[in-house]
Amino acid sequence: MRRSDNVERHNGEHRTHVEYANNEAQADIVRSIFEQYGAGLGLRAIAKDLNQRGVLPPRAGRRGTGSWSTSALHAMLRRERYRGGIVWNQREKTYRKGTKVRIQREASDWVRVDVPELRIVGDDLWFGVERRIKTNLTPGAPARWSPASLLALTHRSLRRMRWGRRPRSTARSAAPP
């Protein structure tokens, strides 16, 4: 599967600009990811589904494991390009202790351009996914663990640690390590 249908334009040896275009096969995959997340599926369940269907992940064959990961989906659900927006100037390169690093620029320095013909995901679906993401990140959201289960977990952990002593091993050695 081709990575994209973007076309680089050159003036001699120098690239002048890139003309962006959507790859419809990949656009269908992106839409299905947004629809599944919007319907309530988690990132792990979506990644498992894509891997089982044999859908190639981003940059398959170049680097990585060759399978979908939750981090790839996490980034995709936040990429404005799928909504038809291109954002430039988000990072700048600088040196820290002799090493070139990229640092985040102020949001006011970003350059945003709307390109409706590149839109893959509609506004309703985009904002629904965005609302779910913000709900999951909101402080005061329901805890994953109840206080009682945390207390029981702590109690079991302390018993296993035997109050700071090393746990006994099944094979005893003549000399202490």
What's the CATH code of the domain at 77? Answer: 3.90.1750
Angstrom CA distances, 51 to 26, 37, 38, stand at 15, 16, 19
- For residue 2, pLDDT over 50 is answered with no
* Residue that is written with structure tokens 């927006």 in the block: 85
- For residue 139, pLDDT over 70 is answered with no
pLDDT value of position 12: 84
- pLDDT tens-digit map of 67-119: 899 999 999 999 999 999 888 888 999 999 999 999 999 989 999 999 899 89
pLDDT band at 1 (very low <50, low <70, confident <90, very high): very low
Containing structural domain, residue 47:
7-84+120-140
pLDDT value of position 157: 64
Is 172 within a domain?
no
Is 110 within a domain?
no
pLDDT band at 146 (very low <50, low <70, confident <90, very high): low
pLDDT value of position 15: 86
Domain total in the chain: 1
What is the rounded distance in angstroms from the CA atom of residue 2 to the CA atom of residue 16? 22
Is 98 within a domain?
no
- For residue 11, pLDDT over 50 is answered with yes
What is the rounded distance in angstroms from the CA atom of residue 76 to the CA atom of residue 121? 11
pLDDT band at 158 (very low <50, low <70, confident <90, very high): low
Is 105 within a domain?
no
pLDDT value of position 162: 52
What's the chain look like in SS3?
A: CCCCCCEEEEECCEEEEEECCCCHHHHHHHHHHHHHHHCCCCHHHHHHHHHHHCCCCCCCCCCCCCCCCHHHHHHHCCCHHHHCEEEECCEEEEEECCEEEEEECCHHHCEEEECHHHCCCCHHHHHHHHHHHHHHHCCCCCCCCCHHHHHHHHHHHHHHHCCCCCCCCCCCCCCCC
pLDDT value of position 18: 82
Closest listed residue to residue 21, CA positions, set 9, 37, 35: 9
Is 155 within a domain?
no
Q: Are 69 and 59 in contact (CB under 8 A)?
A: no
Is 115 within a domain?
no
pLDDT value of position 42: 92
Show the tokens assigned to 92. Answer: 């700048």
- For residue 6, pLDDT over 80 is answered with no
Is 152 within a domain?
no
pLDDT higher at 163 or 7: 7
- For residue 61, pLDDT over 90 is answered with no
**Within 10 A of 132 (CB to CB), how many other CB atoms are there?**
15
Please state, rounded to an integer, the average pLDDT across all residues of the chain.
81
